[in-house]
Amino acid sequence: MNKMKFKDKINIDLLIYIAIIVVSVIVLMYLDMNKFEYNYAISIIEKSLVYAVVALSMNIVTGFTGLFSLGQAGFMALGAYTTAILTIPVAARPNVYYMNGILPALENVVVPIPVALILGGLVAALFAALIGIPVLKLKSDYLAIATLGFSEIIRAVIASPMMDKITNGSYGLKSIPGFKSSIECFVFSLVCIVLMILIINSSTGRDFKAVREDEIAARSVGINIFKTKQLSFIVSSFFTGVGGGLLAMFMRSIDSKTFQITLTYDILLIVVLGGIGSITGSIVGAFFVTAGKEILRFFDEPLVIAGTEVPLFKPGFRMVIFSILLMVVVLFFRKGLLGGKELSVKVFKKHSRKKNEDNVSEGGKE
Amino acid sequence: MNINQFLQHALTGISVGGCYALIAIGYTLVYGILRLINFAHGDIFMIAGYFMIFSFAVMPFPIAILVTLVATTVLGILIEKFAYSPLRQAPRMSVMISAIGVSYLLQNLATYLFTALPKAYPAIPGLKQVIKIGDISTSLVTILTPVITILLVVLLLWLVNKTKIGMAMRAVSRDYEAASLMGIKLNKTISFTFAIGSLLAAIGSILYFTDRMTVFPFSGSLPGLKCFVAAVFGGIGSIPGALLGGFFIGICETIIKAVGLSTFSDAFTFIVLIVMLLIKPTGLFGEKNIDKV
Amino acid sequence: MSNVLKLTDMSIQFGGLKAIDSLGLEVNKGEIVAIIGPNGAGKTTAFNCITGIYRPTSGNIEYLGKSIIKEEPEDITKRGIARTFQNIRLFKNLSVFENVLIAVHLRYNDNIFTSALRINHRQENDMREEVKRLLESQDLYKYRYDIASSLPYGIQRRLEIARALATKPTLLLLDEPAAGMNPQETKELTSYIKKIRDEFGLTILLIEHHMDLVMDISERIYVIDFGKLIAKGSPSEIQNNPKVIEAYLGVEEDA
């Protein structure tokens, strides 16, 4: 009987998810059809989707495995450059690499976008494996510093003259094929998000959580914590890389400055506001922060009320507000705005179920 | 590279290294006590640069220096009070995120208040004076930095090893709970540690920016990271280790730049970190520290 | 007689301190053996050596005739040694069900692709089914949705034992299972330990301070003081051993 209950619950959740997806698709199709009118809204939605992918990937390693990695910008750069290099139309290349030319081996290499995105993810995952071996084996404490440093190295290498013929050095890459429609962006992001949710809720994901909760206890039930941490870090970096590729498609032109440390901090902001260890939190947080930044854009413009300029309003004010918001959440709402819970029917159902459970246990006691 | 050029670079390296060492000590002290990578430390160093610019504009330089040192120290203490001390019982990751939050806030605040454009750092009279030793010419600050650094480290070692507050610091870094059971005032000791770290960062900032001549909101982030690596290299928690790590990173970086690989001078620091973690994770003086028990 | 666990001349040193000094110990199949001794005698350290958390400085540990001295904790668990901890180490923020579910992972062959893409979802169902049965048999099923840290202390202890059982061990190490329990609860625990020994065909090595439980349950007892074995034998032999009495009285004088 209980098993049936369990199945019912899955079905209701699944139905709701499908409903959300269907509604989203309809809304996006409507927006796509009226592209010119809703250009701004579309771009906010696309950016939010991309950030949701990256935020969730950061949450895998930070929220679910308890490792603090700050290499997001670097892994995104790897994914973005890989995707860009492999998808910029051959005809456009001389124009992109107008200064130094392109490496002959790469001149005519073009792969379909999904393949390029996956390759971008794989490159990021490979580098994650290389950094992870020394750092995760010894002191995951230093992972934050090592990944932050790595992120800066990647940026330096990309911009270096030696990489001119591949990354176009400090000139950056442009003419990257963008999303043909917001639906395309939605589909790519959705696939990533669904895969990540499946991983988090699988036995692998449970191992991640066990490592986060208690390393010694995890080992005592046979979990190899180094392998588990390494796997989590690699998986997370893979999706961060794919997210970087999506960002390249969204922006259509990238350079090494796109991937500064502040990008990592922006993503951390989303993860923390949404709640560390909350899947829905990362997704909702991505929309909240991205849209919020756009809506608060007027904060950066001089504001004139009744002929006098309000002194607070000038460039950078928005980011100060977001920094303060971050500090407030860290200090007073440690579980994020969603309180570490998942937003779903489960939350509501749990309450009623809990009551029943309580009755049972009371009855069971002597 | 002839011998003169080499000496010239070595001197520059030692000077940069001295600044790094002063910042690295801040990381090492804080990590030693709270097991926290204080991501905001590099930004405190950056803000100290702005303090100097603004105080120098309105007052004579000796007072401006004093104001900078005091203001930076107070800033360090305040950050600890507001952003870290409420999280004493929280998981370590929360404190780290709080540190990132402070770093993010300081950078954004600096961008907002002073714009993202670099601001000229004032020339403190006499410091940029050119000095000639044989064929090598250099400025006074370059010679002065390592001297000041070493003097400060000696002073700090005396403080930590011979005074009561130093003993408290060592006790807290050994065992947090036991120390507070022994009647050591935890909060006071931690505040004091942050004060020393920030003061040294302020001194480092004056020496560093006098040489670089400009400050901008992100000028603390990369030096900050490097200095943390310097602290790890020397053995986190060890003051002589931070000194040595700072000099090592500074000198190597200068040499790498000198041979024309400046793109990789930053990368080098992190390779040092990875290699160190592989061959001696406790750092050069890490183990000695444990033996002290 | 076939011994499951055999320690020979095992020593471990931390800096200048010899925490365990050439300890010899044997546990035979199906036995319940207790290690007792004053606080700080090195009992938990011995457990940590057996389970691979610490590496002994010298000596040997054999499990089913094979040396396990160089193995990592997770591999030792896979070989069939499970344990509980003195201060209860559960996955605090996970549910009771998940706590046990994680412990059955090691016996299933899963990788990230098969598990995430539900390629053999029969396996996931098998795992859940197995956990359900185990929780039911341990009278914990009604707590399955509860977060581990929200449970009463006694239930947490039982959950920790259930989690250890989920790895299907041959040898179970219990580190002060009766800590913090009143006499009634201790009595229940005594019969519970015997019950799981018979039901799961276990061999049990336990550390305990409650002498009633130890004397009632153990077939043999080892007494350690200052890292050294000072006595071994049947409960009645131990009760009359002057060395043991001295060790315990000595501690009481200090306290």
In a domain, A120, yes or no: yes
Residue A57: its chain C contacts at CB < 8 A? none
- CB proximity C145 to A under 8 Å: yes
Quick one: pLDDT band at residue A6, thresholds 50, 70, 90?
low
pLDDT at A362 over 60: no
Quick one: pLDDT band at residue C180, thresholds 50, 70, 90?
confident
For residue A207, the one-letter residue type is D
Helices (H), chain B: 3-34, 41-58, 61-79, 92-114, 140-162, 164-174, 176-181, 186-212, 221-234, 239-258, 265-279, 286-291
Which residues of C, range 191-210, sit inside 8 Å of A by Cβ? Answer: none
Q: Do C145 and A235 touch (CB under 8 A)?
A: no
Distance separating alpha carbons of residues B269 and B225, to the nearest angstrom: 9
| Number of independent structural domains in chain A | 1
Q: Of all residues in chain C, what percent carry a pLDDT higher than 90?
A: 63
- Assess whether C50 and C128 both reside in one domain: no
What's the pLDDT at A117? 97
In a domain, C87, yes or no: no
Which of A145, A265, A334 is the closest to B229 by Cβ? A145
Distance separating alpha carbons of residues C101 and C162, to the nearest angstrom: 10
Q: Are C96 and A357 in contact (CB under 8 A)?
A: no
In a domain, C117, yes or no: yes
Counted across chains A and C, CB pairs separated by less than 8 A come out at 108
pLDDT at A301 over 80: no
Q: C40: phi > 0 → left, psi -120 to 50 → alpha, else beta; which?
A: left
Q: Do A204 and C112 touch (CB under 8 A)?
A: yes
pLDDT at A217 over 80: yes
Range of the domain at A119: 2-260
Q: Are A117 and A245 in contact (CB under 8 A)?
A: yes
From residue A263, how far is each of A71, A192, C210 by CA, in Å?
A: 10, 20, 58
**Tokens 């480092």 label which residue?**
B204
Q: Which residues of B52-81 are buried (b: 16+ CB within 10 A; e: fewer)?
A: bbbbbeeeebeebbebbbebbbebbbebbe
| Touching partners of A (3+ C-beta pairs < 8 Å) | B, C
Name the average pLDDT for chain A. 85
- CB proximity A141 to B under 8 Å: yes
Q: Which of C142, C167, C192 is the last residue of a domain?
A: C167
Q: Do A214 and C92 touch (CB under 8 A)?
A: yes
Range of the domain at C4: 1-80+169-255
Q: Which residues of C183-198 are buried (b: 16+ CB within 10 A; e: fewer)?
A: eeebbebbebbeebbe
The DSSP secondary structure of A40-75, one letter per residue, reads HHHHHHHHHHHHHHHHHHHHIIIIIS------HHHH
What six digits make up the tokens of B68?
């900078």
Give, as one character, the DSSP assignment of residue C57: S
Q: Do C163 and A209 touch (CB under 8 A)?
A: no
What's the pLDDT at A8? 54
pLDDT at C249 over 70: no
pLDDT at B56 over 50: yes
Q: Do A357 and C146 touch (CB under 8 A)?
A: yes
In a domain, C211, yes or no: yes
Farthest-apart Cα atoms in chain A, separation = 83
Which of C78, C89, C112 is the closest to A199 by Cβ? C112
CATH of the domain at C12: 3.40.50.300
What's the pLDDT at C254? 44
Give, as one character, the DSSP assignment of residue A254: B
- CB proximity C141 to A under 8 Å: no
What six digits make up the tokens of A17?
């998810």
pLDDT at A4 over 50: no
Q: Are C95 and C146 in contact (CB under 8 A)?
A: yes
Chain A nearest C-alpha distance from C96 (Å): 12
Q: Do B104 and A138 touch (CB under 8 A)?
A: no
For residue B77, the one-letter residue type is I
In a domain, A34, yes or no: yes
In a domain, A298, yes or no: no
Closest residue of A to C167, CA-based?
A221
Q: Do C77 and A221 touch (CB under 8 A)?
A: yes
Cα dihedral value B60, B61, B65, B71, nearest 10: 40
Which of B90, B97, B107 is the closest to A272 by Cβ? B97
Question: What ipTM score was computed for the predicted complex, to two decimals?
Answer: 0.90
Residue B264: its chain A contacts at CB < 8 A? 156-157, 160
From residue A248, how far is each of A33, A151, A268, B18, B260 by CA, in Å?
A: 24, 17, 19, 41, 31
In a domain, A16, yes or no: yes
Q: Do A221 and C103 touch (CB under 8 A)?
A: yes
**From A80-84, A350-354, B204-208, C164-168, the region with the lowest mean pLDDT:** A350-354
β-pairing, C220-225 with C203-207? unpaired
Q: Which of C125, C148, C167 is the last residue of a domain?
A: C167
Q: Which of B245, B224, B254 is nearest to B21 (CA)?
A: B245
What six digits make up the tokens of A77?
């750069």
Can you give the length of chain B in residues? Answer: 293
Element at C255 (helix H, strand E) = none
Mutate to test the interface with B, among A212, A314, A320, A325 (most CBs of B within 10 A): A320
What's the pLDDT at A358? 38
- Assess whether C100 and C35 both reside in one domain: no
Residue A129: its chain C contacts at CB < 8 A? none
What six digits make up the tokens of C49?
């050596």
Q: Which residue has the higher pLDDT, B284 or C79?
A: C79
- CB proximity C133 to A under 8 Å: no
CATH of the domain at A253: 1.10.3470
Element at A363 (helix H, strand E) = helix A345-364
**Residues A129-149, mean pLDDT to the nearest whole number:** 84
pLDDT at B49 over 80: yes
Which domains are delineated in chain B?
Answer: 3-291 (1.10.3470)
Residues in CB range of C21: below 8 A, 6 or more apart: C11, C226, C227, C228
Quick one: pLDDT band at residue A270, thresholds 50, 70, 90?
very high
Quick one: pLDDT band at residue A1, thresholds 50, 70, 90?
very low
From residue B183, how far is each of B164, B186, C11, C172 by CA, in Å?
A: 13, 9, 37, 42
Angle at the Cα of B218 from the Cα atoms of B105 and A319, rounded to 5 degrees? 35
Mutate to test the interface with C, among A211, A219, A221 (most CBs of C within 10 A): A221
* End-to-end Cα, chain A, rounded Å: 26
What's the pLDDT at C252? 46
In a domain, C174, yes or no: yes
- Assess whether C15 and C115 both reside in one domain: no
Q: Do B274 and A326 touch (CB under 8 A)?
A: no
In a domain, A286, yes or no: no
Closest residue of A to B277, CA-based?
A134
What's the pLDDT at B17? 92
Q: Which of A248, A134, A111, A108 is nearest to A188 (CA)?
A: A248
pLDDT digits (tens, 9 = 90+) for A23-41: 999 999 889 888 888 889 9
Chain A nearest C-alpha distance from B92 (Å): 10
Distance separating alpha carbons of residues B219 and B211, to the nearest angstrom: 13
In a domain, C206, yes or no: yes
Residue C3: helix, strand or coil by DSSP?
A: strand
Distance separating alpha carbons of residues B238 and B28, to the nearest angstrom: 7
In a domain, C232, yes or no: yes
| Number of independent structural domains in chain C | 2
In a domain, A363, yes or no: no
**From A311-320, B90-99, B226-235, B279-288, the region with the lowest mean pLDDT:** B279-288
Quick one: pLDDT band at residue B215, thresholds 50, 70, 90?
very high
| Touching partners of B (3+ C-beta pairs < 8 Å) | A
Closest residue of A to B111, CA-based?
A316
**Tokens 């179920």 label which residue?**
A353
Q: Do C145 and A221 touch (CB under 8 A)?
A: no
Distance separating alpha carbons of residues B233 and C36, to the nearest angstrom: 44
Q: Do C112 and A231 touch (CB under 8 A)?
A: yes
Distance separating alpha carbons of residues B290 and C20, to the nearest angstrom: 21
Residue A145: its chain B contacts at CB < 8 A? 37, 225, 228-229, 232, 273
Q: Which of C112, C114, C131 is nearest to A221 (CA)?
A: C131
- Burial of residue A1 (CB within 10 Å: 0-12, 13-18, 19+) is exposed
Which of A149, A265, A334 is the closest to B100 by Cβ? A265
In a domain, A353, yes or no: no
Q: Which of C147, C167, C187 is the last residue of a domain?
A: C167
What's the pLDDT at B222? 87
In a domain, C85, yes or no: no
Chain B nearest C-alpha distance from A135 (Å): 7
- Assess whether C116 and C97 both reside in one domain: yes
Mutate to test the interface with A, among C87, C91, C185 (most CBs of A within 10 A): C91
Closest residue of A to C140, CA-based?
A361
pLDDT at B1 over 80: no
- CB proximity C93 to A under 8 Å: yes
In a domain, A346, yes or no: no
